Every structure is written in C-alpha cells, then in structure tokens.
C-alpha cells in the first residue's frame, strides 16, 4: 500500500500505527537520504553534476547548497531527478523484494500524488488535515518559519488531487489518538482482509442492491482504470469504465465495471496472474470473457477481460 499526505498532516502517526501491527515499512524519505550518503555512487554523481560546493566541511551533502544549484531551472531539476530517482527506485525495489511473503508492505511516500505513483499500489491511504491546521503544527510544533511552511504546503498536491487517488481517507482534524484509532480500524477491517484475499486469490463479495447515482463513481472508475492499466500494460489494447456506474444519473449496485480489451482469450489468460497479484483474482471464465473481481472488501470492482471483436 502507499501512504501519503501533505506536510504536517500527521502521516507519521498512521505509519507508526501500521508498523506496530506488523506493516513492513519502506520509507521514501529515508531512502532518499541513504542513496546520497558519503561514499555512495549517488553522492559522487551529484558532485560531478553540481560541483564540490554542494558538500559540507565533513564531505556530506549540504542540501541547501544543492537546492541552490538544482532548482534554478527545469534543466537542473531534471538533471537532479535523473540521478536520484533511479537510485531511489532501485533501493525501494530491493527493500520491497526483501519483505516477508505475508507482509503488508507500507510505502511511505510524501510525494506519491505529485509523482503519479498511485496506480502502482493495491490501495492508497491519504492522511488529511486542513492547510491552516497543518500550518499551525509546522510553525508551533516544529518551529518552522511561517513563510517557509506556507511555501512548502503550496508546492505540494492539493486536497482535491489527493482525494482523487485516495482509497482510504484518514481525517486528522482531531487528536493523535483519534487518528491512530482510525488507522487501526483500517488495518483490521480493510488491509488484513485485502492481504489475505490477494494471497488466497479470493474475490470480495460484490453488492447487489441498487442505489442512487453517485458522481463519485466516475472518480472511482478513472482510478481503477489507471490501476488496471498499470497491471496489464501492453497486454491490453484498451481499458475503460463501462456498465451502469459509468452512466450519469443511472441507479445501480455500486460496482465499478472495467472492460479490458485484448486480442484473444489466450491473451486474457496471460493476464490472469498479473491481475490476481494486483488485487483482482479470477472470478469466472466463459467463451466470451475472463471475469475478475476485486479482492478489496471496500472497493467493489469487476474486470471483464474480453477479446476485441474482429473488424467487419
């Protein structure tokens, strides 16, 4: 799973709760520091690119000095990212591969939304607090300069952008204990069942009772389409939100139907493992399609993998 939230939102409280109950923690901030420690190839590459002035007296990275050189224009920022991002990605993959087979892997990524990484997780949890609450925490609890805090908040994703990718929305307008209690409910009621269903290739129960049209279905449809594209890649020719929940104004059971177009049923079968491992186990097979459904008890989805009809 991916965990994110704006600066000062309280993400560390949620991470701590998940870790205490068994999550395998992969911390993006820690990795970003680790790959440029003294003696690493990453730091050597940065010095080659931006000069020895980015080092402090002890030979460690002077981050303000690097920022002064790397954020002066788009080309410099792209150069920085071309050095650090592959190193961070490789180390992240290394740590992920080392996780126990039954682990719930927690990727703690502050810029998950900004980096367009949401489709690559089974679920994304967002910790939310209003900007004025976050500003107060940054200034009065962390001692941050108010203008610096405002600029950092403004530079990150908006609340609407985070909400668009959030499978789990954790409201931190209250106390740390209240936030931890929310996180524990999510752990027990959603993350544990999701893990077990994915491991056992079990589909969660799909609701059958119709309800009034919900405009949020369109948001969910886009989110699941992106998730499925990330899983099937070049194995499909199209992925789209279809069915009753894709029709504005129509009442329906709240199930997101996704159609995946493939060349033939052999191609459909070749995607079965990727879909199952990604949270959509096989539900049934027919001569027309391979039907998958969500393992997530809180996100009802059907994935219809169907051959493209031949052109006339």
Feature table: binding site: 8-13
Q: How far apart are CA 111 and CA 5, in angstroms?
A: 8
Q: How far apart are CA 105 and CA 26, in angstroms?
A: 7
Q: How far apart are CA 155 and CA 252, in angstroms?
A: 39
- Binding residue positions for ATP: 8-13
In the block, residue with structure tokens 């039954």: 102
For residue 225, the SS3 value is helix
CB distance 104 to 24 below 8 Å: yes
CB distance 107 to 92 below 8 Å: yes
Q: How far apart are CA 24 and CA 46, in angstroms?
A: 30
CB distance 255 to 204 below 8 Å: no
Q: Residue 280's closest CA among 218, 227, 221?
A: 227
CB distance 7 to 134 below 8 Å: yes
Q: How far apart are CA 136 and CA 114, in angstroms?
A: 23
Q: How far apart are CA 272 and CA 274, in angstroms?
A: 6
CB distance 70 to 79 below 8 Å: yes
Cα of 294 vs its chain's centroid, Å: 17
């Amino acid at each position: 799973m991916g965990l994110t939230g704006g600066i000062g939102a309280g993400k560390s409280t949620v991470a701590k709760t998940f870790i205490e109950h068994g999550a395998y923690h992969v911390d993006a901030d820690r990795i970003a520091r680790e790959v440029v420690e003294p003696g690493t190839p990453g730091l050597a590459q940065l010095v080659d690119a931006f000069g020895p002035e980015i080092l402090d007296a002890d030979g460690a990275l002077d981050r303000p000095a690097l920022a002064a050189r790397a954020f002066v224009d788009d080309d410099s920022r792209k150069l920085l990212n071309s050095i650090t991002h592959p190193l961070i990605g490789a180390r992240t993959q290394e740590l992920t591969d080392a996780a126990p087979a039954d682990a719930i892997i927690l990727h703690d990524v502050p810029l998950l939304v900004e980096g367009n990484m949401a489709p690559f997780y089974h679920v994304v949890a967002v910790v939310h607090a209003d900007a004025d609450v976050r500003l107060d925490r940054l200034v009065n609890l962390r001692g941050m300069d108010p203008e610096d805090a405002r600029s950092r908040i403004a530079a990150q994703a908006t609340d609407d952008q985070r909400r668009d990718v959030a499978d789990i929305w954790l409201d931190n307008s209250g106390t740390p204990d209240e936030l931890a209690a929310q996180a524990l409910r999510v752990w027990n009621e959603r993350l544990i069942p999701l893990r077990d269903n994915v491991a056992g290739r079990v589909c969660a129960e799909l609701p059958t009772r119709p309800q009034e049209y919900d405009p949020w279905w369109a948001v969910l449809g886009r989110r699941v389409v992106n998730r499925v594209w990330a899983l099937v890649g070049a194995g499909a020719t199209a992925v789209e939100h279809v069915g009753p929940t894709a029709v504005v104004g129509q009442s329906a059971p709240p199930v997101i139907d996704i159609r995946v177009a493939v060349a033939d049923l052999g191609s459909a079968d070749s995607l079965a493992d990727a879909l199952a491992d990604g949270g959509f186990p096989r539900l049934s097979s027919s001569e027309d399609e391979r039907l998958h459904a969500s393992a997530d008890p809180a996100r009802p989805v059907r994935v219809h993998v169907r051959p493209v009809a031949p052109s006339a």
